[in-house]
Amino acid sequence: MRDELWPRRAVIAVTLGAGLCFAILLVAWYGGAGEASLKAQVVWLNLGAAAVIAASVLAVAFLRQARFRISQRRRELLAELGLTPLTDADHEVDAPSGTEP
């Protein structure tokens, strides 16, 4: 496994995708600004909203990949040190005696 969070291909894909979304957003803004009726502006608004949603999905996917790689690397490092990662069961706290859960 490489020590990088994102492969070069992922960085290029997200950069191009974000640039495309930004270009679509600019086209939607320009198109909506040139319309006088609300009905025509809503079409451009929908296009702009779709561009923002697409850019958000790209960003979330990009960050999820980094989070996955970080957790993968953490497990590898802990295994090299002979340690085990914490689980949810390790975080449970016993209730004080005499209390109901």
Contacts of residue 24, defined as CB under 8 A and 6 or more positions apart, other chains included, come to 47, 48, 50, 51, 54
Rounded to whole angstroms, how far apart are CA atoms 19 and 15?
A: 6
Q: Give the model's pLDDT for residue 47.
A: 97
Q: Give the model's pLDDT for residue 55.
A: 96
**Residue 93 confidence (pLDDT) above 70:** no
pTM for the predicted model, two decimal places: 0.70
Rounded to whole angstroms, how far apart are CA atoms 59 and 28?
A: 21
Identify the three-state secondary structure at position 92. Answer: coil
- Place 75 in a pLDDT band, splitting at 50, 70 and 90: confident
Contact 17, 58 (CB under 8 A): yes
